[in-house]
Structure 1
Amino acid sequence: MKISGLKTITQQEIYLFNQGELYQSYLHFGAHLTCWQNLEGVSFAVWAPNARRVSVVGDFNGWDPAAHPMENYLEGGIWVNFIAGLQSGERYKYYIETQWGEVIYKADPFAFYAECRPHTASRVFSLAGYNWQDEDWLASRLLKQHKEEPMLIYEVHLGTWRMHENGDFLSYREIADRLIPYVVENGFTHLELLPVAEHPFDGSWGYQVTGYFAATSRYGNPHDFMHLIDCCTRPASA
C-alpha cells in the first residue's frame, strides 16, 4: 500500500522535534490505532535518520522485512507506514538496515506497551478507553493549599513491596487494593514510585530503562497502571 498521503507529523512538528521542543512527540511517533482511507489499522512512525531501509515486522507478517516497508517521510529520517487490520496487542519491531549494511531489529522507543521480559518486542496498545474516576479529586485540588499542608511520602518499589507466596509479582490492580489502604492507614500523604518504565532486568529495580513511554508489563497493561493511579485519587487515599 502506498502511504505517501499518511501524515503522522507535520513539517512544523518535525522542526520542533529537531529542535528538541516537540514535547508531545509520543502523539506522533510509535504505533497508534487509527483510521486512514476508511480502513481501521495502525500507523507507525520511527526516527531513524541513518537508515537505508526500515520495515515493520511482527507476528502479523511472519516477521518478514519485505512485507511492510516504511517510507522516509519528506526524506527527513522519519519513517512511516500504515497497516490495515492490526489490533491492540499485536507484537512488532522495526527492521532497520543501516547505511553501512548492518541489519538490526529494534523495539519501538515510543511504544506504550511491551512484551514481558525476557522477550523484547513492542506491543500495539491504545491509551484511550480508560474511564477515569478522578473528577472529585481534580476539583478538590482547587480548594487546597498544598504548599501549606504537611507532607509524608512513602517511597515504594512495586515489584518487591509485596509478592505472592510463589514469588510472582502482584498485578497493578492487586497493588492498588493492598498498597493504598496501607499507605492511608499509616498516615502517609503521598506515594513516590521507584521507576515503573519498561526494563529488562528485575534486579535493576527499573533503573535500566528500555521504554520511557511504557509502564512495565510485569504487573499488567497500561490500563491496569492507570487504574492504580486512579485509585490514588479516591477520597480514602487522596
Structure 2
Amino acid sequence: MKTRFVLINTSHAGNVGAAARAMRVMGFDDLVLVAPRWPDVLTREETVQRASGALDVLERARIVATLDEALDGMSYLCATAMTPRDFGPPTFTPREHLPALAQSPHSVAFLFGSERFGMSNDDVYRCHAALTIPTDPQFGSLNLAAAIQVIAYEWRTALGGFRSVRAEPVEAPLADARAVAGMLAHWERSLVEIGFLDPAAPKKLMPRLNQLFNRSRLTPEEIHILRGVAKSMAEAAAKAKP
C-alpha cells in the first residue's frame, strides 16, 4: 500500500535522520519535508549520522514548500496529535484504527508537526483521522523520531508484516488530498456567492464540510460533480443579482 511520511516545519536535522532510520527498518521510504528549518537538511552531517545507514530514504526524500505539494497523490490523511481538536477528525490509537485502514484502497499519509508546536489546527482539520499514542499521563512527550517509529511499526503490523508489502488495492482509486482541497475551496467561494457563508463570520462551516467529504470517500469523478454543483450555484447567484 502506498504510504508517505510527511514532516511539517521540522527544526532539528537530527530528527530527520532518525525519522529516515525509523521508516527504513519498517520498510518505508517515502519521506516528504514541508518547509523545514534547514534547506539542506537532507545532506547535513547530523542528518546523515542519525540516519545510521538509511541513506536510500534520504536520497529519495523531497523538500516542498507547502503541505498541498506534500500530499499530492494521497487519499487518506492521518494527523498525529496528542490533543483532540474541536471540529477535527475523530481520534484513535494506532492499534484501534490502522488494521481497518490497512484493508482499504487508500494511499495513506502520516503527518507530523514541528517539534515545538506540533500540528496546526488547520492541518489537523483536513485529515481523516488523528492518531494519538498512549503514554504515561504524567510524561506524555514523545520525541519526533520515536513517534514516527511507533506509527511505522503499528502500520507495518497492520499491513501484516513484510508479507503484505505488495498487496494491491481492490477498489476504485479515491480522490487525492489536493483534489479534495481544491473542491472545498471552490465550494467556499460559491457558498459566499449565494450568501450561505459569511466570510466575516465563517464559524466552523468549512472544517465541518471538510470532515463530511472526507467521510464520503470521494472518487475523482465525484470531485468533478461537486465542482459542477459549486459552479452552478455561483452562476445562479450571479444571474439573480439585479
Normalized per residue, the structure richer in helix is 2
Normalised to the residue count of structure 1, the TM-score between the two structures is: 0.24
The structure showing larger relative contact order (alpha-carbon pairs under 8 Å, at least 6 residues apart) is 2
TM-score (norm 2): 0.24
Query: Which one has a bigger Cα radius of gyration?
Result: 1
The structure that is strand-richer by fraction is 1
